[in-house]
């Protein structure tokens, strides 16, 4: 990793002071750091301090004739191995999501051919605002990597999500990103490989009611399933996303059907058939309470109640054996042990064409996290991918399925 080049964009926010330590930490690891300081960022840290720590000139102006003579903004955007935005303000994220290019930072983000890692920092209401969440969802779909934000006390006196990750957390994310391929191919080199096809994707958990206020669920965030739906839409498919209860925004250009329970999810999936591809990424609850209570369950002298559980419908197996079976049926296997063995057994049992298996043990951080390590299990064998951002897993999976469809299906 020594000698890798980082282009650090420092946005305007009180967390910009952390960028000074970030530069130092990156250089300690042998990374070359070139800094772009926004006009707002210069209100919090000085070009001199960043130049002293990075050992290089700090770039600020888009139309600096001196800088353009030595390194134009196109070359500057592509000279790095990874672009890092820290702090990534709501304004910078909005510009990047909508393709604005009215200053040096936004122009570099539009012109770069390398992956971008963003460390958001803003007031909690700005972070939670639907506009920001839409922008983040768009950027994830485009392949941007995110680290944070975390929860904590803010300079404005409020407490909640929006606090920029600490420098060492960002360094760890940088190292993880540099471990993979950071070059982004030209979009025009990627034709709409699923054009004219219909894809159904399930995503997120299901909530199975116990009583009016309690339910059985799991820790699925829906990030992977939503990223797959977005990638399929970007590849030209007509996409129906059947989503359980999640906090991530609906993907752009996708018909999203919101459900709560496994039975509702199956009903929505069957209503969306026929389709060419089905991708069951949802973590569907295996069981539900046989008779959910109409009133809230209360404590009593007899001790804890006994919940009579019954099996939920098997959505993946139902689709795989359906009269209107899609040409490709893809399931997910979230396991905590014997990942490959369980996935191979599931492939045979459910009669699907492909299983995407992953380890969701707490130590992996996959559940709710932004990265995933998956194994593609088929009758032909097992293909293991490196740890990748979930958006990139989605893009690679869609490319794999497009190739299978081109070969005439499974």
Whether 50 and 194 share a structural domain: no
Whether 177 and 262 share a structural domain: no
Whether 219 and 129 share a structural domain: no
Whether 180 and 205 share a structural domain: no
pLDDT, position 65 = 44
Whether 311 and 368 share a structural domain: yes
Successive 10-residue mean pLDDT values, the chain, 410 residues: 88 92 94 93 92 90 58 73 94 93 90 92 90 90 89 68 91 90 69 90 97 92 95 95 95 95 98 97 95 84 84 97 97 90 94 93 78 92 91 93 79
Q: Which of 131, 153, 155, 156 is catalytic?
A: 156
d(CA 311, CA 158): 44
Q: Is the full-model pTM beyond 0.75?
A: no
Which residues are registered as beta bridge partners of 378? Answer: 381
156 belongs to the catalytic site:
yes
Whether 179 and 279 share a structural domain: no
Whether 173 and 255 share a structural domain: no
Whether 246 and 380 share a structural domain: yes
pLDDT, position 409 = 55
pLDDT, position 208 = 96
Residue pair 10/42 in contact (Cβ under 8 Å)? The answer is no
Residue 62 is part of a domain; what is its CATH number? 3.40.50.1950
Q: Which domain holds residue 32?
A: 5-184
Q: Which residues contact 402 (CB under 8 A, 6 or more apart)?
A: 193, 194, 235
Whether 178 and 195 share a structural domain: no
pLDDT, position 143 = 86
Whether 198 and 236 share a structural domain: yes
Region at 150 (left for phi over 0; alpha for psi -120 to 50; beta for the rest): beta
Domain end, chosen from 184, 203, 226, is at: 184
Whether 15 and 152 share a structural domain: yes
Q: Which of 31, 90, 81, 108 is nearest to 22 (CA)?
A: 31
C-alpha distance from residue 386 to each of 148, 197, 365, 398 (Å): 22, 28, 15, 16
Whether 289 and 361 share a structural domain: yes
Which helix (DSSP H) or strand (DSSP E) does residue 256 occupy? strand 255-258
pLDDT, position 181 = 82
């Amino acid at each position: 990793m020594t000698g890798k080049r980082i282009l650090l964009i420092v946005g305007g926010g009180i967390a910009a002071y952390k960028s000074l330590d970030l530069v130092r930490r990156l250089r300690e690891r042998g990374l070359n750091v070139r800094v772009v300081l926004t006009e707002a960022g210069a209100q919090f840290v000085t070009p001199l301090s960043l130049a002293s720590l990075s050992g290089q000139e700090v770039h600020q102006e888009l139309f600096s004739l001196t800088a353009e003579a030595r390194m134009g903004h196109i070359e500057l955007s592509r000279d790095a191995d990874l672009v890092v935005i820290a702090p990534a303000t709501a304004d910078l994220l909005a510009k990047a999501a909508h393709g604005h290019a009215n200053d040096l930072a936004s122009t570099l983000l539009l012109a770069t051919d390398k992956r971008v890692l963003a460390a958001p920092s803003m007031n909690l209401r700005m972070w939670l605002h639907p506009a920001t969440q839409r922008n983040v969802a768009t950027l994830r779909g485009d392949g941007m990597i995110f680290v944070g934000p975390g929860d904590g006390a803010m300079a404005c006196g409020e407490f909640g999500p929006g606090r920029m990750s600490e420098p060492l957390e960002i360094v760890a994310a940088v190292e993880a990103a540099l471990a993979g391929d950071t070059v982004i191919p030209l979009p025009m080199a990627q034709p709409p490989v699923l054009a004219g096809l219909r894809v159904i994707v399930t995503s997120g958990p299901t909530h199975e009611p116990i009583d009016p206020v309690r339910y059985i669920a799991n820790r699925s965030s829906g990030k992977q399933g939503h990223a797959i739906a977005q990638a399929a839409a970007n590849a030209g498919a007509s996409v129906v996303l059947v989503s359980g209860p999640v906090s991530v925004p609906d993907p752009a250009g996708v018909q999203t059907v919101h459900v709560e329970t496994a039975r509702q999810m199956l009903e929505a999936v069957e209503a969306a058939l026929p389709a060419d591809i089905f991708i069951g990424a949802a973590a569907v609850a295996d069981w539900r309470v046989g008779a959910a209570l109409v009133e809230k369950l209360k404590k009593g002298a007899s001790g804890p109640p006994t919940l009579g559980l019954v099996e939920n419908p098997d959505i993946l197996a139902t689709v795989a054996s359906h009269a209107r079976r899609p040409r490709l049926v893809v399931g997910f296997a979230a396991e905590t042990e014997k990942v490959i063995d369980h996935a191979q057994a599931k492939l045979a049992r459910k009669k699907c064409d492909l299983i995407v298996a992953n380890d969701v043990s707490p130590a992996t951080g996959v559940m709710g996290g932004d990265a995933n390590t998956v194994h593609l299990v088929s009758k032909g064998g097992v293909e293991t991918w490196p740890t990748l951002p979930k958006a990139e897993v989605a893009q690679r999976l869609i490319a794999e399925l497009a190739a299978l469809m081109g070969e005439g299906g499974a």
